[in-house]
Chain A
Amino acid sequence: MYWGLSLSAWVVVILYIAIVTGIGLYAGLFKPMKRFIHYVVADREIGGVISGVSATATTASAWAWFGLAGWGFVAGFPALFYPMIFILANFLLWGWIASPLREQSEKINSFTIIDHFKKIAGDKTGILALLGGMVVLIFAMTYVGSQLLAFGTMGEYIGWGQNAPLLFMAVFTIAYTFVGGFRGIAWNDMFEGMVMMLTMIGLTAFAIYEVGGFSAFVSGVTDVGPAYGGWVTVAAGTTAIGLGFTMLGQPHTIQRLIAIKDQKSIGYALPSAITFSFIRNTLPILTGISARLVFGEAGLPLGDPELSFLAFAELLHPIVLGFLIISVMAAIMSTVDSFLLQGAATFNRNVLENFFNVDLEEKNWVTLNRITVITIGAIGALIAYAWPGTIFDLVLYGFGGLGSAFGPPLVAMTFKWKYLNKYAIGTSYIVGLATTVLFVHNPVGDLDHTLLSFLSAAILMIIVGLATGERKE
């Protein structure tokens, strides 16, 4: 063993790092990045399959392994309601929102969703852009922090301590985002998505085999208790609906819809995204349930259900731990890279350019974006280092906040709601941000905070829109 891992596991990890670095470098050299559009949306040249898989991978985050396996371990079959809702939301995103959004974004020359809302609302003051930019920036840094902290926690389990892996993850992801821009991110997310899919399929198959096959799996779940093998509960149902639908408002996911090559590519992106969503949401839950049946609560690594999937690695060849580590790295990196770029693009385009009227040459915007990527990554690392709570306390803010702020206007825009004016959009930003903080700290019964925040932002957005009149085109 070398620093907690076998030689074969180290080979897997190092090979993974080499491939991701290679992809990032190649993307950076593939085409000169002289303009904002090159760095931020790869000149709108990303193909359908890469867009679909990378959009799903970037939404995955560390939650895909830690959160879902832990949820399956604790809740059993009711947790399986979540993948169904998530897939449905993804269906709406690619089958319904993608086409008009892609068409409109090219027409009005928008590169981020905040930019897009500012332009369709005709806000010349820049206040809407400032507000949206700040919401993205706050939650992007929080989310980056949560993901770095997740890798630190995994490092602790392996015996690396928390700070060194956290720092490594920050520096490495910043480096390839800095060099490769959006093209590097999309290509890497595709590769990272494939890594996640293959490890999830392999580990889940082994986990169910270890339980004793499908029949033993079902009877084992029933033996745990009626609720564990039962239908969805109010708590699990509202959490699933809340998380599923706030997915619609994630700016880093929507970026894929803006950057996709053309309408035909959406036809390839839709099945790619849905198939990957099905695999990456369902299998970790089944693995978590299997871990409960095989190891029970006493046999878990560090006694933590969120690490339940790692318990199976101890039954297999040491190289498997290497594959699980790169799978977690893939989940984390595919999210962090996108938030770094999204945060930088949103800040520069919306806050500096649109609100403060900073006027730079195109190549200088690219340089400034790269500097901002480093800054956001560094602040995210500091948040992760100093954060006293758990990983998913941070995720609750990040995912819920972004989805609640941007989801309602995105859905309203797709409905071609004529009252979606600058006041309505601004209301959704403010209420989404404020109610996320409010409901995380003041839970309302069993209801999930993301659902409450999303609904609050949507309802107030509708009221303000109706009160202030139709949008002027």
Chain B
Amino acid sequence: MDAAPLIVYVSLGFVQVLIAIYMGYKIVKREEKKEENRGEL
């Protein structure tokens, strides 16, 4: 598999991009929930 190092390194970088998008989404949702709770109080 001549392209293996290329595929592995680039894919691992890309997976981190996907995880970052998911984590970013979770952080935004968590903070919005906190804001809502503060508003209710």
Chain A residues engaging chain B, CB cutoff 8 angstroms: 77-78, 80-81, 83-84, 87-88, 91, 94-95, 99, 218-219, 221-222, 229-232, 262-264, 266-271, 273-275, 278, 281-282
Complex Cα–Cα for A115 and B21 (A): 32
Complex Cα–Cα for A90 and B21 (A): 13
Known: A80-B9, A80-B10, A84-B12. A267 touches B20 (CB 8 A): no
Complex Cα–Cα for A87 and B9 (A): 11
B6 lies within 8 A of A77 (CB): yes
B2 lies within 8 A of A219 (CB): yes
Residues in B neighbouring A282, C-beta threshold 8 A: 10, 13
**Which of A87, A88, A230, A267 sits near B26, CB closer than 8 Å?**
A267
B31 lies within 8 A of A263 (CB): yes
B17 lies within 8 A of A278 (CB): yes
B11's nearest neighbour on chain A, judged by CB, is: A84
**Which of B6, B20, B30 sits near A274, CB closer than 8 Å?**
B20
Given contacts A229-B5, A270-B23, 14 further A-B contacts (CB under 8 A): A80-B5, A83-B13, A84-B13, A87-B13, A229-B2, A232-B5, A264-B35, A267-B23, A268-B28, A270-B20, A270-B24, A271-B17, A273-B20, A278-B14
A262 lies within 8 A of B31 (CB): yes
**Which of B9, B14, B17, B25 sits near A267, CB closer than 8 Å?**
B25
CB distance from B11 to the nearest CB of A (A): 9
CB distance from B35 to the nearest CB of A (A): 8
Q: Which secondary structure dominates chain B's binding surface?
A: helix
Complex Cα–Cα for A231 and B7 (A): 11
A264 lies within 8 A of B32 (CB): yes
B9 lies within 8 A of A83 (CB): yes
Complex Cα–Cα for A45 and B24 (A): 19
A231 lies within 8 A of B5 (CB): yes
Complex Cα–Cα for A77 and B9 (A): 9
B16 lies within 8 A of A267 (CB): no
28 interchain pairs, CB-CB under 8 A: A77-B5, A77-B6, A80-B9, A80-B10, A81-B9, A83-B9, A83-B13, A84-B12, A91-B16, A95-B20, A95-B23, A218-B3, A221-B2, A229-B2, A231-B5, A232-B5, A262-B31, A264-B28, A264-B35, A267-B26, A267-B28, A268-B24, A268-B28, A269-B24, A270-B24, A271-B21, A274-B17, A278-B14
Residues in A neighbouring B14, C-beta threshold 8 A: 278
Residues in B neighbouring A281, C-beta threshold 8 A: 13
A76's nearest neighbour on chain B, judged by CB, is: B5
Complex Cα–Cα for A273 and B26 (A): 16
